[in-house]
Structure 1
Amino acid sequence: MAEIQLKNLSKRWGSFVGVDDFNLTIADKEFLVLLGPSGCGKTTTMRMIAGLEDATEGDILVDGTRVNDLEPKDRDVAMVFQSYALYPNMNVYENIRFPLKVRGVDPSTHDEKVRRASAMVELDEFLHRKPAELSGGQRQRVALARAIVREPNMFLMDEPLSNLDAKLRVSTRAQIKNLSHELAVTTIYVTHDQIEAMTLADRVVVMKQGVVQQVGSPTEIYDRPANAFVASFIGNPAMNLMDGAVEGGTFKAEGVEVKGLTAPDAKTTLGFRAEDAEVVESGGQINAPIYTMELLGEATMVSVRIGGSLVSVKADKNYRADIGDIVSIKVPMEHCHLFDAETGERVGG
């Protein structure tokens, strides 16, 4: 069991703030993803939990016990790094076995534990090979097996898929998802890839410049982003955001007029997702010339320019038009999101 509590956790280097007043309780067996751009503090947060960085302020509690002063080896965590961190002179079997030797686990149990871990990540036929003889995906699976064999209280994974190509990322992501279900161990996973966050997480923590922006399930964060930053970071493509103003319940911008909004008169950013809008022959709230079109296979992405923003909408895969043609885009009011133009915070419900 491992419930992790982070209380007023901060990390500073001189005047630079890496993590600012982070508060969160991570439930036992939860798969939590820390998501954000480079430099947002997500890896620093993980390293403080692991004991690889000292917290400037705040407490880290595991099952109610403060662990700030414990050495990394005494925190019962297993880490999986972006760089694999394998021993090149050892074969796969010995790489997986290594944590058991270091921790003084009964040698008579090693073989069974190593083979069980390797079977979980489908490495049985590669146990005799050295890391140099493996593909990137296979090396990452060795790193996973080495973490699994420890049977730790919690897994910490720092961008484990970022060195893999797109196809391998999909298959290894599926493997991690299945493993998390099978092992049922508290897992904290760091990534800048919102697709990984959406597909793997029980809950997502979105961070920016050391500050937590929103915590919620992938669905909550996707459907109701707390601010314009979260809206722009989650989704593929990201949510369309247009700067304008609300006047008498109508949002107005160049080529845009969305009526029936319950929001105060003010400079406002309107957001909606590409899949929630549609291209219509006439009568849409947005009318603008086509800037570009992309055939995605299952749909055609049509983009127009509104002021300085590129606005995209998914049309039928058979939709055809030319760049420069005027299109009309209909955005259902229930799928509109409004954000304060100054603070970026969500306006209304």
Structure 2
Amino acid sequence: MAEIHLKNVSRRWHNFTAVDDLTLQIPDREFLVLLGPSGCGKSTTMRMIAGLEDVSSGEIWMGGKLMNHLEPKDRDVSMVFQSYGLYPNMTVYENIRFPLKIRGIPASEHKQRVMKAAEMVELTPFLDRRPAALSGGQRQRVALARAIVREPNCFLMDEPLSNLDAKLRVSTRAQIANLHHALKTTTIYVTHDQVEAMTLADRVVVMKGGIAQQVGKPMEIYDRPANTFVASFIGSPAMNLIDGDIADGTFSNPYLTVSGLPHAARGPVTLGFRAEDVSVVSEGGNLSAPVYSVENLGDSTMFAIKGAHDDLISLKADKTARMAIGETVHAHVPAAACHVFDRESGLRIDGFDNQAVA
């Protein structure tokens, strides 16, 4: 069992708090993604679980055992780093085998376990090569195999795809998802890439400033962001966020009016909606503004307009849509697709429940 429980965990250096009072229950076999911008505390959280950083306060439990004062080698976790961390003078076979040697696993088991791990990440033809003769994707697969061969209770992956190009990220991401399905081992994965989080995770922890902003399944967070930070961080493009006023179920600002909203919200608010929920129309609609930019994406066309505070608002249209910069675009933003947030705190307003996510 590799159920992990973080109880009020914090990490502080003098006056700086990297992780602040984080409580998190990670069930056995779950794939949990820690997501957020640089400096949000996600890697520090992982390093505390691994034992590479001390816990300033709180407790870390794994499999019913308190981990706080155990050395990293005694925690039965395997880490995969962004930098691969391979030994350049060793072959792929020896790199994968190395954790077995240092942990005193009987030599009679080495070959079988190395070959099994190598086969899982499709490295069997490359076992005699050294890291310098491998591509970036192949090196990352060696790092994965080296973690797999130990058969740990938990995998910890710290931005393992950051050094790969776009095509390799897609293929390696699929491989990691398939490995988790096959191995069924608890996995904690750190990334700043929301696409990785959405495609890999059973649950996502969105972090900012050392604090967990929201914890939930990927589509729960996408459909019902807890605050404007989560709304702006999840999704590509990010959710459009527009300041205005709401009264009697109608939101208004200089270029957008949305009626039929619930009456729970009143006064100055931030309205959120996603680009794919907007319908670009030839005339009318409840949003009108000059086109600021046009992006032809193949399967669709993305228009951007500038808001009152020079913020860009994205509108997704059919791939056949044609419009020049400077022309006025008309669109319909349905009330059912809107989210309402308190403008001062950024929190989702209680009692507001749009039909799109009900």
TM over 0.5: yes
Q: Is the 8 A contact 2:258 2:334 kept in 1?
A: no
- 2: CA distance, partners of 1:230 / 1:325: 32
Runs of 4+ in 1 over 4 A off after TM superposition: none
Alignment of 1:23-172 (within 5 A): 23-172=23-172
TM-fit CA distance, 1:331? 1.1
- 2: CA distance, partners of 1:266 / 1:151: 56
Paired AA for residue 92 in structure 1: V
Equivalent residue number for residue 290 of structure 1: 291
- 2: CA distance, partners of 1:157 / 1:261: 42
Equivalent residue number for residue 197 of structure 2: 197
5+ residue gaps, structure 1, are none
TM-fit CA distance, 1:281? 1.6
- 2: CA distance, partners of 1:264 / 1:75: 49
TM-fit CA distance, 1:125? 0.6
Is 1:301 the counterpart of 2:302? The answer is: yes
Q: Is the 8 A contact 1:254 1:306 kept in 2?
A: no
- 1: CA distance, partners of 2:142 / 2:100: 15
- Matched position secondary structure for 1:197: helix
Equivalent residue number for residue 323 of structure 2: 321
Equivalent residue number for residue 333 of structure 1: 335
Equivalent residue number for residue 273 of structure 2: 272
TM-fit CA distance, 1:199? 0.2
Equivalent residue number for residue 356 of structure 2: none
TM-score normalized by the length of structure 1: 0.99
- 1: CA distance, partners of 2:103 / 2:196: 32
TM-fit CA distance, 1:283? 2.6
- 1: CA distance, partners of 2:265 / 2:38: 35
Greater CA deviation, 63-72 or 157-166? 63-72
TM-fit CA distance, 1:247? 2.6
- 2: CA distance, partners of 1:264 / 1:109: 64
Give CA-to-partner distance per residue, 1:219-260, whole Å, 9 cap, x none.
100000000000000001010111111133211112111112
Give CA-to-partner distance per residue, 1:93-130, whole Å, 9 cap, x none.
00000000000001001000000000000001110000
5+ residue gaps, structure 2, are 354-358
Q: Is the 8 A contact 1:288 1:328 kept in 2?
A: yes
Give CA-to-partner distance per residue, 1:156-185, whole Å, 9 cap, x none.
000000000000000000000000000000
Q: Is the 8 A contact 2:265 2:340 kept in 1?
A: no
Is 1:260 the counterpart of 2:260? The answer is: yes
TM-fit CA distance, 1:324? 0.9
Paired AA for residue 219 in structure 2: T
Paired AA for residue 316 in structure 2: K
Equivalent residue number for residue 19 of structure 2: 19
- Matched position secondary structure for 2:60: strand
- 1: CA distance, partners of 2:265 / 2:332: 23
TM-fit CA distance, 1:196? 0.1
Paired AA for residue 175 in structure 1: Q
TM-fit CA distance, 1:195? 0.1
TM-score normalized by the length of structure 2: 0.96
Equivalent residue number for residue 345 of structure 2: 343
- 1: CA distance, partners of 2:331 / 2:16: 44
Alignment of 1:242-257 (within 5 A): 242-257=242-257
- Matched position secondary structure for 2:95: helix
The count of aligned residue pairs is 349
- Matched position secondary structure for 1:346: coil
- Matched position secondary structure for 2:2: coil
TM-fit CA distance, 1:314? 0.9
Identity score, percent: 66
